[in-house]
Amino acid sequence: MRILLIVYDNDSHIHWFPQGLAYVAAVLLREGHEVETYNQDMHHYPESHLFWYLTKEKFDVVGLSFIAGYYQYRKALKISEAINRSPNRPFYIIGGHGPSPEPEYFLRKTGADAIVIGEGEETIVELLKALTTKKDFHNIKGIAFRDGNNVTINERRPLIEDMDNIPFPAYKLFPMEYYRLLRMPHCSQSDFVMPMLSGRGCTFKCNFCYRMDKGFRPRSSEHLIEEIKLLKADYGITYIAFGDELLMSSRNRTIELCNDFIKHKIDVKWDCNGRLNYAKKDVLDLMKKAGCVFINYGIEAMDDQILKTMNKSLTTKQIIKGIEATLEAEISPGFNIIFGNIGENRNTLQKGLDFLLKYDDGAQMRTIRPVTPYPGCDLYYYAIQNGLLKDCEDFYENKHLNSDLLAINFTDMTDKEFHKSLFEANMLLVDNYFKNKHVSYNAQMKDLYIGLDSEFRGFRH
């Protein structure tokens, strides 16, 4: 079958490599399908271009995967309209974190023929076999589909247990010269960056997390190292951005991974998402030695009661000790604070603000965003049960209009008070960021003109 996979444009200058689609593309190629990608992201094509392309070219299947953001939702509807208007309309499949929790709603809104719920590598193969042989879809686990005016939601498919059995992403189908220009903390101007997954899932379940799959399934060190070597050899990659929820899934796993990176001399910079309860001196020192330059931490709040409400399995004491240990190891920490969970108020916001101002090393601009109860997370169902939200349509069409604006108010503050408090907090954070930049530029000028630094490469990069 001839299949077109659409990479949507989220209006970024350089987009994150579409890892989910690339994994799906890899298994489709392995099954003998003809696979092409449509890079709306790189070219910033309008949807009219997609309509023209589908009119000019004939595909059997078109696929789109997207996450649960307000922008992505509206982009998916526009892309769907272009697909559905095409005179050569292919069989239309959608998937990803966006539609998976509420498949019936998304089938109705997008007009898609089927949704792959959760992981797609095994499900898409079975679905396309049924489509080719014109077999019934009712026994295919992990899909929802339209049958006339009816929607059928099948049983969920068990998770793939052995991550090493999944082929590497189909890098050759994508414009790698574009994606490798991604910028991450502490990459140089000459670094080429590429996201990778060290595993799937997470051992924790925060109340605002829309991830539906339980547990963590790591890839082996050998499998990761083989992929890194491929990226270095074929695309000149010098920096790996581990984009999965939690590379630091345990102390032992982190140590084993770092030791193998050192043993095999992978010689790349890398960053990852981490857990502060595992951020101990010996672990962090080893991560630094193995090439880690940045660890993104999900802190979320600096109040112990709110952390319990979130089900973070963290304490403020652990957070402070972990951040101080990370800074001492000369690794930059990423600070993620959100505001507006159940029981929050101006005082809990102030605690988060004070923490950011005290410990931020200036590696990234950090602002505080309101918590958003995406479909699939515990907060989403709490909002519905408590009359704060009607349903999925109410969420996307009326409530979730921007990730930096309040969607559902779980606090005792008015919406106006809520936004005013965020405005004041983020003004201080932005001012602090540029203050740090001012100090940095002054230091560079001193090195240049007083120290006569001949290595200086100019202020305009």
Tokens found for residue 250: 């345990």
Q: Kindly state the percentage of the chain with pLDDT values over 90.
A: 92
Q: Kindly state the percentage of the chain with pLDDT values over 70.
A: 100
155-197 pLDDT tens trace: 999 999 999 999 999 999 999 999 999 999 999 989 999 999 9
Residue spans of the domains in the chain: they are: 2-153, 180-449
Higher-scoring residue by pLDDT: 289, 246:
289
pLDDT at residue 185, rounded to an integer: 93
pLDDT at residue 32, rounded to an integer: 97
pLDDT band at 458 (very low <50, low <70, confident <90, very high): confident
Is the pLDDT at 80 greater than 90, yes or no? yes
Is the pLDDT at 238 greater than 60, yes or no? yes
Is the pLDDT at 11 greater than 70, yes or no? yes
188-211 pLDDT tens trace: 989 999 999 999 999 899 999 988
Range of 58-62, 145-149, 207-211, 442-446 with top mean pLDDT = 58-62
The pairing of strands 114-116 and 143-147 is: antiparallel
Higher-scoring residue by pLDDT: 362, 394:
394
| pLDDT mean across residues, the chain | 96
How far is residue 233's CA from residue 267's CA, in Å, rounded to a whole number?
Answer: 12
CB atoms within 10 A of CB 350: 15
User: What b/e readout covers 267-284, taking b as 16+ CB neighbours within 10 angstroms?
Assistant: ebbbbbbbbbbbbbeebb
Do the Cβ atoms of 289 and 258 come closer than 8 Å?
yes
Tokens found for residue 239: 């920096």
How far is residue 250's CA from residue 275's CA, in Å, rounded to a whole number?
Answer: 9
pLDDT at residue 212, rounded to an integer: 74
| Mean local confidence (pLDDT), 410-421 | 98
Tokens found for residue 202: 């997470």
> In whole angstroms, how far apart are CA 283 and each of 202, 273, 294?
19, 14, 14
pLDDT at residue 461, rounded to an integer: 57
pTM beyond 0.85: yes
Domain 180-449 falls under CATH 3.40.50.2020:
no
User: Based on C-alpha coordinates, what's the Rg of the chain?
Assistant: 23
Topology alike, domains 2-153 and 180-449: no
Q: What is the CATH number of domain 2-153?
A: 3.40.50.280
pLDDT at residue 338, rounded to an integer: 97
